[in-house]
Amino acid sequence: MELETKTIIIENNRCAWGKCIFCSFSKKRDIPVLGENRLNQLIENELKGITTLKQLKFFNSGSFLDANQIPVFVQDFVLKKCKELKTEELIFECHPMFITDKNIERIRKTLDSLNYNPKISVAIGLETADDRMLKKIKKGITLQSFEKAVGLLKKYNFYARTYLMANLPYEKDVEKSLDRSVDFALKHSEKICIINTYPYGYAELFDIWLSRKWHPLNKKDFENLTGKYKKNKKIEIYFDDFISYPKFSIAKQKKVDLYGANKFNLTHPYYEVWQEYLADFYLPPKIKNCILFLPCSFRKPYSMSKTHKAILERLKSVFGYEKIHQIMISNPGLIPREFESKYPFANYDWSEAQETPAIKKLYTKVTQERIEKYLENHRAHYAYTSKKPVFCYLKYESESYIALENACKKQNIALVNLLDKEAYDFLKKEGMRSILTNQILLDKMFLHIAKAKI
Ligand code: SF4
């Protein structure tokens, strides 16, 4: 198999610097420490079946030239593999503290001994061309040390691939700061990569996000900020590379009790960052082209509750079931089925008995806003319109339904409640309990969605 480009990500041992405020990997508790042979085996597996590879990107969350992370034996193995695959460019990352005469000269000598002269590009996370800011984000470099490292690379005919972060916290004018950084980096680098600053679970930046004082840029804002660089061939732009859902450390999980029907348990920052992620960064699974909003349940994860078990059992026989994206509506916001076990969605409780008129009103308002934002941002994915509806199976008088109905109206999206109104009203009048699991209603739900031909 011939390949243009391949990215290998192998994490091994902690980054020697380990202090950047946006870095999650270096703060993790358990970081793998692998032997040389195991590392080579992993690399071999990654390259299996490839006969020719034009470009190899090798990332290891730290420094390729730090022998504690990538032993010299393994560094050489990568170079040999590149030669075997006739690789024209090898890109690896490195903190300037390891870009030394000794380390670079050694790589150059190995390449000479192999009689192989690929383009070697060293990815350096400069992030910003501002010494004051570099100190604040604890990058462990200065513009001077960066320039020195780049000078050394040039000396050995290696190239600098400089990474910049757009929208760093503490920055008053993100545009001005990025422009200044791009100008500086262009003077010193063969390539620049602008990435959207995004907070990962163990990073200090995640706490800043939770404080609600700073937010990652959504796609539109990021494109507005970086659009002017799009045509520059020396610049690559990445909005959501390697982005993941919000992950909460055990310490953070222990810190709060998400119980009770109150404002705290409705607008808690843990929920807010999840909702921001879901609206602005999350990509719904490709196959899911139709939304079905469902209620939450006391038992978590929801699919273990009696109500959800009954709904799921009936729903699974719908033709095209796999296309239905089940999204629960609850006080944490919207919860797509695939995240129902993630913290805190299986670790909260909202007691209806504690609800007051004021909290119900607030719930409806907050929930409506969350639904609106989700529907608006994912319109292209689901392609719902005033004709192609979103579905729900919700009690008509519930705040979740009212919020959803209002949101759909505002977004001009059709809404079909699969809970048969006539049968529901009748059963309610009869004083029927556990109404959502009633067989008549579940059968009607099936018929209504089957008729809709999703
Ligand atoms: S240099 Fe890279 S791996 Fe090390 S702490 Fe900073 S971002 Fe993390």
Strand order from edge to edge, sheet including 235-238: 2-9, 52-59, 89-93, 119-127, 159-166, 191-196, 235-238
Distance from Cα 256 to the centre of ligand 1, integer Å: 29
Listed as own residue / partner, the contacts of 372-376 with beta carbons closer than 8 Å and 24 or more positions apart are 372/407, 372/410, 372/411, 373/275, 373/279, 374/275, 374/278, 374/279, 374/334, 375/407, 375/408, 375/411, 375/413, 376/411
Distance from Cα 305 to the centre of ligand 1, integer Å: 43
Three-class secondary structure assignment of 160-176: EEEEEEECCCCCCCHHH
pLDDT by 10s per residue, the chain, length 454:
999 999 999 999 999 999 999 999 888 888 889 999 999 999 999 999 999 999 999 999 999 999 999 999 999 999 999 999 999 999 999 999 999 999 999 999 999 999 999 999 999 999 999 999 999 999 999 999 999 999 999 999 999 999 999 999 999 999 999 999 999 999 999 999 999 999 998 999 999 999 999 999 999 999 999 999 999 999 999 998 888 999 999 999 998 999 999 999 999 999 999 999 999 999 999 999 999 999 999 999 999 999 999 999 999 999 999 999 999 999 999 999 999 999 999 999 999 999 999 999 999 999 999 999 999 999 999 999 888 999 999 999 999 999 999 999 999 999 999 999 999 999 999 988 889 999 999 999 999 998 887 7
CA 247 from centroid of its chain's CA atoms = 10
- The answer to whether residues 37 and 77 touch, using CB atoms and an 8 Å cutoff, is no
Two tokens at 266? 């409705």
Give nearest CA residue, ligand 1 atom 3: 62
**Structural domains in the chain, sorted by start:** 2-238 (3.20.20.70), 250-451 (3.40.50.10630)
Distance from Cα 371 to the centre of ligand 1, integer Å: 36
Strand order from edge to edge, sheet including 333-336: 333-336, 324-330, 290-295, 390-392, 415-417
Three-class secondary structure of residue 209 per DSSP = helix
Give nearest CA residue, ligand 1 atom 5: 18
Pocket, ligand 1, Cβ cutoff 6 A = 15, 17-20, 23, 25-26, 61-62, 95, 125
The residues that bridge with 5 in the sheet, in sequence order, are 55
Q: Which atom of ligand 1 is nearest to the CA of 25?
A: 8
Q: What are phi and psi of 437, to 5 degrees?
A: -100, 5
